[in-house]
Structure 1
Amino acid sequence: MDSNGTASEVARAIGAALGWNSSSDDRKSAMAYLESVKAGDVRVLASTSFLLVKKDWSSEVRLHAFKLLQHLVRLRWDELSPEERREFAKVSIDLMNEIANSCEEWALKSQTAALIAEIVRREGLSLWQELVPSLLSLSSSGPTHAEMVCMMLRWLPEDITVHNEDLEAIDIFCTQLIPLFLCKIYAGDRRRLLLRGLTESLPDILPLLYTLLERHFGAAITEAGRQQLDIAKQHAAAVTATLNAINAYAEWAPLPYLSKYGTIHGCGFLLSSPDFRLHACEFFKLVSSRKRPVDADSDYDSAMSSILVILMNVSTDFLNRSESGYGIINDSEYEFAECLCESLVSLGSMNLQCITGDSERLSLYLQKMVQYFKHYKLELHYQSLTFWLALMRDLISKQKTSAGDGSADDLTSGDNQKRKLIPFVNDEICSIMLDISFQRMLKKEKANPGNELSGGALELWGDDFEGKGEFGQYRSKLLELIRLVASFKPLIAVTKVSDRVILIIKNLLLAPLPSGNLAVLESMQLAVENVLGTVFDGPNDDNGSSSDVQLASCSVLEGLLQQLLSLKWTEPEFVEVLGHYLEALGPFLKHYPDAVGSVINKLFELLTSLPIVLKDPATSRARHARLQICTSFIRLAKTADSRLLPHMKDYQEEDERLYGNEEGDGLQMLCNGDGCDIVMDKEDGLQMGSNEVNEAEAEKGEKRGKQPAGGFFLGIADTVAYLQKEGQLLRGEHNIFGEAFLIIASAAGPQQQQEVMTWLLEPLSTQWTQLEWQNSYLSDPAGLVKLCTETQFMWSLFHTVTFFEKALKRSGVRKGNSNLNNSTASSFQSHPLASHLPWMLPPLLKLLRAMHSLWSPPVAQLLPGQIKAAMIMSDFERTSLLGESNPKVSKSAINSADGFHLNMKDGNAEPNEVDIRNWLKGIRESGYNVLGLSTTVGESFFRCTDIEAIDLALMENINSMEFRHIRQLVHSILIPLVKNCPSDLWDVWLKRLLYPLFVYSHQALRCSWSGLLDEGRAKVPDLHGIVGGSDLKVEVMEEKLLRDLTREICSLLSVLGSSGLNSGIPSEQSGHGGRSDVSAPKDSDIMSSSAVGFLLKNKDIALPVLHLCLDAFRWTDGEAAIKAASFCGTVVLLAISTDNVELRQFVCKDLFSAIIQGLALESNAFTSADLVGLCREIFVNFCSKDPAPRQITSYLKFLLSLPCIGHQDLLAFEEALGKTTSPKEQKQLMKSFLLVGTGNQLKALAIQKSVNVITNVVGKIPLPYTFHYFLCI
């Protein structure tokens, strides 16, 4: 077939492939034909494509033909002879001239220019040097010719500006092709040669671009004035193409060149042109973001200074117009201003030295950035915010540095430049930043348009603001800036925040509808919290004493404190906001203890102003507000440190005098929960209204020289006790107060903490340890069903368990000190809860055992319908599994539940299924947490707790538990238990608990994964959990449950394989697997001091564990594979360190092959490095030098079974591996070897990145061509 015939066939195929009305079969057939043409004779491809780019064909055909030509140049260029390549280049250049003469559409011009650029990049420097004179001549032929030349100049440096430094795309281990390092050298050399050629040509290119810019901009203006609009458009297109070309060089061309040849001046001039200013400003944005070289000279600084002057002058014009309100500013002008601001931000960040050298220029620059920051347009403010954040971070760090050593001798030049800025960031600038940040803390949707304090004329953040992240992220940036300014100018920050809050409150009190302006006050609470936290808890508070600044700040805040204390709000919304403000004062109260009593009194006043919440939707807001006020005591206890302690301890002593009770009735009443039948020694208790107490408190107030509001002031514990006795405090609320007491006591030291712990827990033990309720409700499942009808007692038990949880959390071991294997008897006896565990845990274990039994099939079949319904997932849990948006249900929503939340007086009302579900969920979560936290108490837990009771409670019904519950049990109990169990008790605890867990979980997971991988649906045994919903949603939930449990089980394996639990295993061996060192530890010593060794000694546990690890690599879950790999790494080290032949056989055969199978899964891409590392360890340590041939045969046979590996390849690989001892290099060799050996079928190792392509011109290159391209450079 002749060339014309082939061209016609190709054209028809292109039409069929792109035609919207083509059938699927026709489209596939056409695509296959086009691929055959691309892969066929290269000369036929060239001649056919050149025919199809002619004007005789449609635009679609011509564009596709250009892509065929570009494909040829990129991937098959070397198949042409040198003479053919020259002829190809000549025809292409002639084609560019032809396209320019006929005024073709933009896409065809762009493709032609891209083709020429691709040819120059492939052919190299010699062709480029020949082309330069002809290009200069061609550009003067007319606007279209100039446009195409500029297009080509724009595409030419693409290989430099769009870096593809990840040349690992050609990281293939191949001895028959060009070696990897040569490919890198050739590609790098070609790029360097092109860069050198372009750099040498800059004295020709840049003047040409400036000339074209000047010539065609002037011509466009002239022709537009003559109303020759078509000609004017051609000149305008040439200007745009010239600016695009300039921008391609802006990132890398030497800055002095850009100044010398007029590029900076020309682009600066065009900033005044509405048609071209965005393109021109893009140039300045690119240049400004270039980091100042270390060896920059005066020419560089002069050029950057000229850029700064241009940008500031243009900014001044815009800002003056904007602030004066003169004229209308459209969206295009704001887009331009945003680019200007971004350029100034980049310049200040990357080239600060060019600004700080001139004080006047620096002052003007900061003034412009302040103007942008306070601009009402959100986009402009946002751009400036990034600058001020970076600047203030640097200033604060430099301030600390200079304050730390008092010397600037060691500071770098850049540091000194930043220190020069400190005097220029004055009080006025800081005040403006604070004022604007305060106003912008409010979202547009919550602002009251009629209130000036709601942002005034500022454009606030709204839900429709796109491209800058979420409001929470933006607010975090504002808060960081507020903290930085508060650290830099603390007194100004305190004054500003105090004055604004007072002003908002006064306006709110005068407003006819106060609730409409409450959002403004809410938005300022975080600002108050951050300012006070910085000023009173910041670097100035290191020694615990108050500095002069802090003392002055206290004086300023007295006015705010009095304003807050004087408010008489009772509406729940207002009470909640006021509570937030009072708790935010915590850091301030640490330095102003005289006000602590007044704040505590005010919080109690707010609490008692809200009604006791019954089960009434209308009072839900009040319920939430009460919880918030109670929680404020916890937050105050944390931030005010020990300042709350006197308000508990002193009054306790006074109570002892009044009542003659060492323990203090107030605290006993605090511990007496609703529904608990605890008999108090003094039934009359504390009467707040009694004359005796009033007189005593009045006398106490006189002694202290203060008279709190209300005429008297009770201690926190006594007040809580009174409120509880009077029925004004719910059980969940007094639990929160108990937690606050624990925090307060911890500030006084371990002894006080121990006393308070006993003080709080002993009254609870009376009811909790009674056998009557345990025998009645926990002896069988029917008893637990009965308990679910005893609403008041049911919730009383729940709050007891949750208080145990809080007590353990508040007295637990600090993070990082969880490994208690070496703890002594004295250490665990000192734990505040060590003596309480023997009575706390047995009833809890019975409760958990009874709850778990509800899910066993014989029991579940006989349960009442209400209990069965309560065992089903809540709507929140289902939507969470589906990944759908749903407001998070806080645990306080369950913790706040009470017997009183049902509107009843006799205590006999039955809860509904939602209440029972919440109770079961809460008991499970808190009960599991209590057991998990108890393991951190020390050896007392492991030596004094009945393992039989633990085993029955947790493992008796493990086969009936749902996946979600097993995951929770593993996460909350077993992982902490494994971490903290003493090694001499592993045989008692780990063997007993881990055996049933691993046996069942491996069987269940294998079955479920088999269903998912083979049938597309996980077979999850959560029969009670998943009910209702579409089949698709059920499938999604099942898969999520399966993956969650898989990951948690593998997390447990990762903990078992951690270094802390395997200290006896020597670190990775260097060299090969022989152990000739006579001083090496014995196998028995290694196994006994290793958790993994312990598991492997117990074959009943070892078999399911090892099989689970192998399966984890084959399941399509990357997170699980990462954790399993961690465990397997320890197994490999154990095999290396011991002479266990059976273990080595497993590692060399089963584990090695499973890892390589895992690498075939794309889901394991993120853990591929770890998996390759394991392969390297196995191969290096058990290679042919190992004297044990049986293991060697197993994995060598596996490697030789790979499709692309022969015996010689294996020998060559071993030789290459033996020439280096670097683990990194060995891993790289192993990776390459596996890729080649499997025919590049290991998806986890497959390269994701493609080679460089000209953007917006051609599509991605298929992977095989990518490798061919690199290997044939």
Structure 2
Amino acid sequence: MLPALFALGSNSALHAELVAMFFRLLPEDVTVHNEDLDGERRRQLLQGLTQTLPETLPFLYKLLDQHFGAAMAAVEQNQMESAKQHAAAVTAALNAVIAYAEWAPVVSLANYGLIQACGFLLSAVEFQTSACEVFRLMAGRRRPVDESVGNYDIAMEGVFDTLCNASKAYFSELNKRAASGEEMDEESDFGECLCEAMVALGQQNLHCVARNDSKVTTYLHQMLCFLQHPKLALHSIALPLWTTLLRESSLAMSTTDQQGLTDKEKEKRSHAVSISQDFCAVLLDIAFQRLLIKDGGDGSAESETWIQEFSSASDFSQFRSRLVELVRHVSSQQPVLAASKVAERLQLTFSSSTFESVSSKEVTILETTQTYLENIMSGIPEKVMAVALATTAPSNELRTILEGILQRLLMVEWKGPILVELHTRHFDAMGPYFKHAPAAIPVVVDKLFKLLTSLPVTREFGDTEKDTMRARLQVCTSFLRLARAGDVAMLPYMQGIAETMTSFHGQGLMVRSELNLLGESLLIVGSAVGGEQQVQVLEWLFGPMQQQWILPAWQEKYLSSPASLVRLLTQDVSIGDAHEEMWSMYHTVTFFERALRRCTNPSGKASSGPSATADNVDMDAAAMPASNHAMIPHLAWMFSPLLKLLRCMHALWSPSVATTLPMQVQGALAMADAEQASLLGDLATNRGSAGASAMTETKSDSENNKVKEIRTWLKGVRDAGYNILGLSATRIGEGFFVDVDGRPAALATALLENIQHMELHHIRQLLHLVIIPVVKMCPITLWDPWLRQLLPPVLVHCHRVLTTAWTSLIKEGSVKIPDNWSVSTSNQNSTQEIKSEVIKEKLLRDLTRETCQLLSTASSPALNIRTTPQDGVEGDGGGMEVAGSPFNPATSLIWFLMQHGDAATAALHVGIEALEWPDSESVHKALVFCAAVANVAALVSDSYQLQEVVGKDMFSSAIRALMLESNASAQAELVGLLRDIYLRLGSRHSTPRQVLLALPSITPDTLSAFEAALHKTSSAKEQRQHIKAFLLSAGGDQLKALIPQKNTNVITNVTNRVTAGHFSERASRHEREDFGSIGLAAII
């Protein structure tokens, strides 16, 4: 057949084009498109293709040579029609070569002249893009491991030379056109393809010329030109190469011990290219210029530039991340150079910025300088930084430069909130320096206090006032970062900071939120020192808060009822004391949460685990907790008012209260547009979107601000309050669970009194932050007073909501949830209704997963001591002993849960029904619960009702769950559950057997044969295989989770065929995986 095709292609340009198209489609059909072929058949076809290469590749070269020459001759003779036909033949031949370039041996492509031919065509504008595509594919090829390595390196070196020469010509032409004012837009595709080829060459095959310094330098110069290209598309293509080269160079420089590295890793690092200081200097300059590009957030025409260059905000973010990575890698390898570069930038920026009023361009420069400084400081290795700052020799360049940078920051005197905020962020960027230069800390502390007092204290909420508030908070946050960096080095200055804070607060120069942030910095230092110092800091910080929160009159005024809380939230901003009280309450709760996170147990021991007992606690006196955690005394005064506050907040959603709320509070209870956008997966909230609620559209700015303020307050206090309870359970341990003044009942009332009115995302937060930690950490001896009051209301309500919502979603395609949900579908257009449905489904899945996580947590081995089954259970396996230990129901939370009727029913319904809900993550978690319940049912011989539920409902649901394709990832667990139920309960109950007999095509004889095979083996794996085969014989294609998924083979790289002898030899050395990285031709 091939001779006939070759002869046909020689007839005319048209015939040559047709034959070339055939040779393009043939390999594409085998290597790419024909996925239905099995692996062996594809190997056979590929072998056939490989055997034709000695005839096919010369023919393609002949077509390129003959018809390109004919096209040029026709142009000279002004025979344009003939020239077009010959040009079409050349294009078709190039497309055919492209089809072979990705997998055919590179050596063959070189030997038959195709690399040379395509290299020549790179200079022809009409064909250069297609010719460059050939090189792009070859450049990304992987080096073979057979005897052709030497020839491959030679061929790839030719590819290097060709592409570097093409790159030089491209930039030469670009510079000529730029000098004459012309543009090269028509060649942008070629430029991008050429850049991609050069990048692939450097990432995959740079080792082929790594020992030729001249060629490597030439290559790097060309890639630097691409990085400097004004067109961001080309810059973005080249950028990953530089980060890769720098990363590999850093690894090669830092690796002194080669142990543990594979031979390939050792070889790769041995070929790592060292980037010279001159290159690094240029890279830093380029990175700074590119970091000046903003993300378009301010809506100006200049800031929207990136939109034209990047397809999405995600791409732009990735571009910025790579620039930052580039800066850090250069700083790691050339710390002195990087430090000097940023010092120059700071000098240039600060010397030209008296900045009485600052423009957006100047802000951009300052922001970029701060980012530049931050990443250079982070990139300098800590050991290098420590050694440099510990050495006082005059020749210590790095220390001199860094001290100069600090002095420059200390000398700057800027005014105004924007500049003060940027100034403090520059100090934040110096964190790694402060870690090893403790002597600088008191000077920086004084400077930060000066910056704070340079801004007025404001309680207004206009745009200017918000800028001021944000800047002041930024200054206070800088104290936190300084404390983290300085650690114990700040200890000598704590007293002075505390006195200054007290003085400022007493003079009205510092508000509560700022005081808390500075207090948190002291807490960081106190916790680092530990023990007594931590306790003293906490007493000093919490003293004023405690005095207020324990006052009965204060609690009566603000926490006695929902109406009291509403009055506090809706006070006019002009009433300063009430407004300040509102935010003082907010900051007290949020600071208490942060203190819990910061504090560790002074004894250095972890909080008690869930299996700990309270035997050492005087339950009658209930005065001394089992733990000496520093936060326990403060939890005592916080607990009761916090629960009152949460109870009032939860009541706002109840119908009796919600209908009486002011419009501002009602608006605050609704989900914000930004939160809805995040649930929809939007990159950013469209400020002017049509999806904004009608309420938002009709309100004045002041009303909108008040709604946002109340919403922020409610969400912040609720989440912080939940975190206080959850963190207390996990970090304080038994000291939290001691029943002081009816603590369990008060907690249950505050959290669950209005659970039926909560929204889905609200319940999910409650489960995640409070209920699950409490269940996980509650000591066994305190299950009854705590979990008996918490679990039943939660499980009953979640069962009701989830069952209703999933039933409506599966049957009707729409989620039905309580009417009080904050995103109503009434009065919405079709687009808004679709978004609303998407949001509701997302919230439903989140709540389902969290509820199943609660059940999974209750099933954990730590909460079910001595109930874990052996995997190799034979026959019934339903005895009362596991691993020689008798089952004690008192140590099983699952059994405890089964003793409480409503909670048990709800938990079983959710756990069993969740297996059939199309959400694989929930199914995995529900299976943990189902397995634990099945195990307890088998261990407790008199649990007839539970055994009946497991043997019938759970067993049937697990089989139906296998009908969902979404459960393919859980099919092994589902089959394992079926096996455990059938083996451990089948001999005592007939229900599992009846369920199987009810399946299609199953007769008593079929079932008996299955049971005989099942009991014949004690291997759990074989038993699961028997069950799987049995179910497939009954359900067939309906059991979608059991049907194996087809794997798609993609052939991208082939070398010359290896002989059978070589293959056998390599297989004996366990190197078959190496062939897979090259291609399939080697194992044909």
Q: Normalising by the residue count of structure 1, what TM-score does the alignment of the two structures yield? A: 0.72
Distance, in Å, in 2 between the alignment partners of 1:1015 and 1:924 is 34
Please state if 1:334 is matched with 2:184: no
Q: 1:463-542 maps to which residues of 2 (within 5 A)?
A: 464-466=309-311, 469-509=314-354, 515-535=360-380, 537=382
Does the Cα contact within 8 Å between 2:296 and 2:306 map onto a contact in 1?
A: no
Distance, in Å, in 1 between the alignment partners of 2:84 and 2:1013 is 64
Please state if 1:154 is matched with 2:6: no
Aligned to 2:523: 742
Distance, in Å, in 2 between the alignment partners of 1:1053 and 1:816 is 29
Please state if 1:1019 is matched with 2:816: yes
Decide whether aligned partners of structure 1 residues 1238 and 418 sit closer, same or farther in structure 2, where only a CA change above 3 A counts. same
Q: 1:497-646 maps to which residues of 2 (within 5 A)?
A: 497-509=342-354, 515-535=360-380, 537=382, 552-617=397-462, 618-646=464-492
Does the Cα contact within 8 Å between 1:356 and 1:417 map onto a contact in 2?
A: no
SS in 2 for 1:440: helix
Aligned to 1:82: none
Distance, in Å, in 2 between the alignment partners of 1:928 and 1:334 is 56
Given the alignment, which residue of 219, 226, 235 partners 2:86? 235
SS in 1 for 2:38: helix
Distance, in Å, in 2 between the alignment partners of 1:941 and 1:338 is 63
Aligned to 1:720: 501
Q: In structure 1, give the amino acid aligned to 2:958.
A: I
Q: In structure 1, give the amino acid aligned to 2:877.
A: R
Decide whether aligned partners of structure 1 residues 781 and 252 sit closer, same or farther in structure 2, where only a CA change above 3 A counts. closer
Distance, in Å, in 2 between the alignment partners of 1:625 and 1:1018 is 44
Given the alignment, which residue of 1176, 1180, 1183 partners 2:975? 1176
Does the Cα contact within 8 Å between 1:867 and 1:916 map onto a contact in 2?
A: yes
Q: 1:1082-1121 maps to which residues of 2 (within 5 A)?
A: 1085=887, 1087-1121=889-923
Please state if 1:929 is matched with 2:723: yes
Distance, in Å, in 2 between the alignment partners of 1:1149 and 1:436 is 69
Decide whether aligned partners of structure 1 residues 516 and 989 sit closer, same or farther in structure 2, where only a CA change above 3 A counts. same
Does the Cα contact within 8 Å between 2:874 and 2:1015 map onto a contact in 1?
A: no
Does the Cα contact within 8 Å between 1:1071 and 1:1180 map onto a contact in 2?
A: no
Aligned to 1:309: 161
Decide whether aligned partners of structure 1 residues 1233 and 640 sit closer, same or farther in structure 2, where only a CA change above 3 A counts. farther
Q: 1:1229-1268 maps to which residues of 2 (within 5 A)?
A: 1234=1031, 1237-1242=1034-1039
Decide whether aligned partners of structure 1 residues 447 and 192 sit closer, same or farther in structure 2, where only a CA change above 3 A counts. closer
Shift of 1:318: 1.9
Q: In structure 1, give the amino acid aligned to 2:959.
A: I
Does the Cα contact within 8 Å between 1:872 and 1:1025 map onto a contact in 2?
A: yes
Does the Cα contact within 8 Å between 1:281 and 1:339 map onto a contact in 2?
A: yes
Distance, in Å, in 2 between the alignment partners of 1:495 and 1:853 is 60
1:984-1003 per-residue CA deviation (whole Å, 9 max, x = no partner) reads 32233222201111012212
Does the Cα contact within 8 Å between 1:164 and 1:1252 map onto a contact in 2?
A: no
Distance, in Å, in 2 between the alignment partners of 1:282 and 1:245 is 11
Q: In structure 2, give the amino acid aligned to 1:839.
A: W
Does the Cα contact within 8 Å between 1:1043 and 1:1117 map onto a contact in 2?
A: yes
1:979-1032 per-residue CA deviation (whole Å, 9 max, x = no partner) reads 222233223322220111101221232233334444554332252734575172
Given the alignment, which residue of 230, 237, 262 partners 1:383? 237
Shift of 1:205: 0.8
Does the Cα contact within 8 Å between 1:546 and 1:591 map onto a contact in 2?
A: no
Return 1224-1233 or 1234-1243, whichever deviates more: 1224-1233
Please state if 1:393 is matched with 2:247: yes
Decide whether aligned partners of structure 1 residues 857 and 511 sit closer, same or farther in structure 2, where only a CA change above 3 A counts. closer
Decide whether aligned partners of structure 1 residues 204 and 881 sit closer, same or farther in structure 2, where only a CA change above 3 A counts. closer
Please state if 1:269 is matched with 2:269: no
Decide whether aligned partners of structure 1 residues 226 and 482 sit closer, same or farther in structure 2, where only a CA change above 3 A counts. same
Q: In structure 2, give the amino acid aligned to 1:156.
A: L
Aligned to 1:837: 635
Aligned to 1:437: 287
Aligned to 2:610: 821
SS in 1 for 2:374: helix
Decide whether aligned partners of structure 1 residues 292 and 511 sit closer, same or farther in structure 2, where only a CA change above 3 A counts. farther
Does the Cα contact within 8 Å between 2:490 and 2:525 map onto a contact in 1?
A: yes
Shift of 1:512: 9.4
Q: In structure 1, give the amino acid aligned to 2:509.
A: Q
Q: Normalising by the residue count of structure 2, what TM-score does the alignment of the two structures yield? A: 0.84
Distance, in Å, in 1 between the alignment partners of 2:999 and 2:249 is 60
Does the Cα contact within 8 Å between 1:1149 and 1:1195 map onto a contact in 2?
A: yes
Shift of 1:463: 5.1
Q: 1:22-37 maps to which residues of 2 (within 5 A)?
A: none
Does the Cα contact within 8 Å between 1:398 and 1:419 map onto a contact in 2?
A: yes
Identity percentage of aligned residues = 41
Aligned residues: 1006
Shift of 1:1251: 8.0
Aligned to 1:358: 212
Q: In structure 2, give the amino acid aligned to 1:829.
A: S
Distance, in Å, in 2 between the alignment partners of 1:588 and 1:461 is 34
Aligned to 1:1269: none
Aligned to 1:252: 103
Distance, in Å, in 1 between the alignment partners of 2:139 and 2:939 is 58
Given the alignment, which residue of 949, 952, 977 partners 2:746? 949
Q: 1:1146-1225 maps to which residues of 2 (within 5 A)?
A: 1146-1161=949-964, 1165=966, 1167-1170=967-970, 1172-1183=971-982, 1188-1189=986-987, 1191=989, 1193-1203=990-1000
Please state if 1:1127 is matched with 2:929: yes
Distance, in Å, in 2 between the alignment partners of 1:338 and 1:827 is 69
Distance, in Å, in 2 between the alignment partners of 1:1076 and 1:518 is 72
Shift of 1:1137: 6.1
Aligned to 1:706: none
Aligned to 1:134: 4
Shift of 1:643: 3.1
Aligned to 1:1264: none
Distance, in Å, in 2 between the alignment partners of 1:164 and 1:550 is 67
Distance, in Å, in 1 between the alignment partners of 2:39 and 2:226 is 43
1:786-820 per-residue CA deviation (whole Å, 9 max, x = no partner) reads 54454443333222212211111211589997872
Does the Cα contact within 8 Å between 2:284 and 2:338 map onto a contact in 1?
A: yes
Aligned to 1:691: none
Does the Cα contact within 8 Å between 2:612 and 2:780 map onto a contact in 1?
A: no
SS in 1 for 2:353: helix
1:949-1007 per-residue CA deviation (whole Å, 9 max, x = no partner) reads 11221122323333332222112111221222223322332222011110122123223
Decide whether aligned partners of structure 1 residues 241 and 1152 sit closer, same or farther in structure 2, where only a CA change above 3 A counts. farther
Distance, in Å, in 1 between the alignment partners of 2:307 and 2:1008 is 66
Q: In structure 2, give the amino acid aligned to 1:277.
A: Q
1:1014-1061 per-residue CA deviation (whole Å, 9 max, x = no partner) reads 455433225273457517265555444433322322222232234444
Decide whether aligned partners of structure 1 residues 309 and 744 sit closer, same or farther in structure 2, where only a CA change above 3 A counts. same
Given the alignment, which residue of 787, 790, 802 partners 1:1005? 802
Aligned to 1:318: 170
Q: In structure 2, give the amino acid aligned to 1:161.
A: T
Distance, in Å, in 2 between the alignment partners of 1:420 and 1:883 is 43
Aligned to 2:858: 1056
Q: In structure 2, give the amino acid aligned to 1:926.
A: A
Distance, in Å, in 2 between the alignment partners of 1:1044 and 1:1078 is 38
Distance, in Å, in 1 between the alignment partners of 2:326 and 2:396 is 23
1:470-515 per-residue CA deviation (whole Å, 9 max, x = no partner) reads 3221111111121111111111111112211221222334899655
SS in 1 for 2:816: coil
1:1091-1132 per-residue CA deviation (whole Å, 9 max, x = no partner) reads 334323444422110101222233344443343234334434
Given the alignment, which residue of 21, 43, 47 partners 1:196? 47
Does the Cα contact within 8 Å between 1:931 and 1:973 map onto a contact in 2?
A: yes
Distance, in Å, in 1 between the alignment partners of 2:24 and 2:522 is 70
* Alignment RMSD (CA, Å): 4.0
